[in-house]
A and B are shown apart, each in its own frame.
Chain A
């Protein structure tokens, strides 16, 4: 089984970090005990630009969870349709060729889910198997690839699709001026990505079949009693961010051992990994990953660049880095890559790829 294609989509409204900070200062004004705390936090998030589904001036008009979630649904469907088409078209496929769709998001809810709404808009077969995933957060990009690969491993003649739509700007809370929310508003952006995962017996045109890396193995790791590290406190006004300063600590304490044992299980070591496709969590997380794995400078350049250009897109972030890797930094045949993300639980998902 292999990753055959990735399509991405970003909403139209793009802002510099300074523009976002200024808008939030205007919006929150006197609610902020120290306005410079916001601008200083935002200036040090490792983010230069972000895309949002609405123009900045429209956000204060969104009042209450329903209005916000309705925007999530309409924009999620629109961005989902775009990135699915972008993922399938280069392979000469349509949604009629998809046997299973995994949909991951943690920034809104719907039933029927976004994938169901897309099935009504695009020619998926009526027999398509749907697996909506809510709550995995940032780890869902890597975990979604892992679960889709589990599926095509069982059904090697089939093609699975992973779709992640994350509209993080819709979770901004007007009545939360906590440090976690100030950081969240400086770090997270909106975006979507779709990944085509093909079974071993799927025959694509020769020029396209070798387009992406093989998925050799995956591993989930759950860190017990770390619920406080990251997640949402869900209330009357929607999703309120839970973000502990302990995230880098959990990375430092666990990542290396978990990666080494995963690689050893697959007969290779850290030095055999030619490239790293990591979720762009934020500067502290990426620095912790570099420290933990003793990575050379620029080993996570793709993640840092993605963070700078679009911010943290939760589950879609690692898929953005994957898309860039497929387009601009493919491995030479036979070499290995690790795709990885961490998220609420707290947990880690590792995917071993071979080019």
Chain B
């Protein structure tokens, strides 16, 4: 498990007073009883942790922990200087 995955799993677990072992990459927010408000609060924590800005309208498409990991990786990659052009 890479660093982004483990940190997001920790964050999700903490938000619902769970242990990290209770949360899998394929856990759905419904399974974890994370409602829309929880998801928004989680998005603020993810933004702070990874220094990224999550587009407001993207939250509804996030259904699993893996969706969050992929979203963070995409946003972080987009924020990096383009290596190919440097």
Contact = CB atoms under 8 A, between A and B. Distances in A.
Contacts of A283: 60
Contacts of A226: none
A44 B56 contact: yes
Interface string A248-274: 000000000000000000000000000
A40 B59 contact: yes
B44 interface: yes
A44 B37 contact: no
Interface size class of B (residues with CB under 8 A): 10 to 19
Contact of B35 (A34, A36, A245): A245
A36 B44 CA distance: 9
B56 to A, nearest CB: 4
A284 B56 contact: no
Q: Looking at chain A's contact residues, is the secondary structure mostly helix, strand, loop, or mixed? A: helix
Interface residues of A, number: 14
A46 B44 CA distance: 20
A44 B44 contact: no
Interface string B44-62: 1000000000001101100
B35 A43 contact: no
A43 B53 CA distance: 15
A343 to B, nearest CB: 20
A283 B36 CA distance: 10
Interface string A35-71: 0110111111010000000000000000000000000
Interface of A: 34, 36-37, 39-44, 46, 179, 245, 283-284
Given A40-B56, A43-B56, 5 more contacts: A37-B40, A40-B59, A41-B36, A44-B36, A245-B35
